[in-house]
Amino acid sequence: MSLINVPFGYDNEGFLYINNCGDDCNKTFEKGKIIDIDGNIICPGIIVPSYSLNDFTNKTNEIVYYSQIIRGRMIRIYWYDSNCNSNGNGNDNGDTGIFNISREYRIYPNLKLDKYKKQINFDLLEKSKCYYAILTDTKIILTHIIDNNNNNNIHSLPELTIPELNEDLAFENHIELLPCPEPLLTMKSINLQENGLIFYCKDGTQFEFANLIYSQILSMKKPYYIPTYKYYIMSLNQYPIGETFAEYFNDLEYDIRKYLEYYPEHTEGYKIMSNKLAMYLDQFETDKDKKEEIDTILGLNVDKVIQLLEEKIICI
């Protein structure tokens, strides 16, 4: 289960090819396609939940399930054949494809998952499907199965329906979907949950709400008011390598400047994000009452900060 000649660097960034869905932030999928450097279509897009409480309230009558937010890395599993062209049609050189496992914002594998692969029966996976899962410390948990059905019309949104995960036999672990007859009542228990809740509408739209502690942890990874998918696009689809909170943002700025050398057409988008990052850091600098505490936090290892947040010793 290995891919020969895996591209590195910019060649491995899937989101660079996404055609954003504009001002409509309610779509569950990013409109467009993820393709590799040869023009081969990899998968339909990325699952983007809504974080709007107003939209959630307006659609409570359409919500049918909910699940726990599982803390982990999002991954996709898909069939990749280097002999396929951009229309998804292979040549006559035989079956040269494999099932790839890559992070949600990468095209090719960049994780060592040998210890997890026994949890998946690859013989039962379908080549026409794209499988989305969450990678935890010990498990691969299947969350969605999507038909990779937009090869002929790259501008059509993939159909996202409530996953019938009980019918899947390939994965050892599946996310648990629970009936949700009273969404507003369920929502009131969100701070009693380990991380938060995801609600599912009949049409597949998702609403995701983290509890207070997990929201604080997430806010240390990215500015709270930048949508997750836009943040990943602008940060080169990579994690900065800084070990402390302050170094993280310095690395992020450096990565984006390198990115603009290759993709100058995204300069305007970079300026928007740069301003938001400045606002985010200024919140710490202008709060004089917390300056000593903030200086301490900025010098801590990121893992230590998260530990303190979980133990409710510090609160930002």
pLDDT tens per residue across span 161-200: 666 777 789 999 999 999 999 999 999 999 899 999 999 9
Question: Any alpha helices (H) in 44-148, and if so which ranges?
Answer: 53-58
Contact indicator for 145, 79 with CB cutoff of 8 Å? no
Tell me the C-alpha distance between 76 and 212, whole Å: 28
Q: Work out the pLDDT band at 315, boundaries 50, 70, 90.
A: very low
**Given a cut of 80, is residue 215 above it in pLDDT?**
no
Pairing assessment for the beta strands 34-35 and 140-147 based on DSSP bridges:
unpaired
Q: How many CA atoms lie within 13 A of 25 on its CB side?
A: 13
Tell me the C-alpha distance between 252 and 239, whole Å: 8
pLDDT at 28: 52
Q: Inter-axis angle of helices 291-298 and 267-285, to 10 degrees?
A: 130
pLDDT tens for 251-310 read 556 656 665 665 676 677 666 656 655 554 554 444 444 445 545 555 555 555 555 545
Largest CA distance in the chain: 69
Average pLDDT value over all residues in the chain: 67
DSSP state of 87: T
pLDDT at 64: 92
pLDDT at 66: 94
Question: Any alpha helices (H) in the chain, and if so which ranges?
Answer: 53-58, 183-187, 212-219, 228-234, 245-262, 267-285, 291-298, 302-310
**Given a cut of 90, is residue 67 above it in pLDDT?**
yes
In sequence order, what E strands does 61-108 have? 63-68, 73-80, 98-103
pLDDT at 196: 94
| DSSP-assigned beta bridge partners for residue 209 | 197
| Mean pLDDT value of segment 227-241 | 46
| Mean pLDDT value of segment 93-105 | 69
Region of poorest pLDDT, from 25-29, 66-70, 276-280? 25-29
**Given a cut of 50, is residue 154 above it in pLDDT?**
no
> Which carries the bigger pLDDT value, residue 214 or residue 175?
175
Region of poorest pLDDT, from 20-24, 135-139, 200-204? 20-24
Contact indicator for 84, 40 with CB cutoff of 8 Å? yes
CA 138 → CA 19, 69, 218, 302, distances in Å? 34, 16, 21, 22
**Given a cut of 50, is residue 127 above it in pLDDT?**
yes
pLDDT at 123: 92
Pairing assessment for the beta strands 140-147 and 129-135 based on DSSP bridges:
antiparallel
Please report, rounded to a whole number, the percentage of residues in the chain having pLDDT higher than 90. Answer: 16
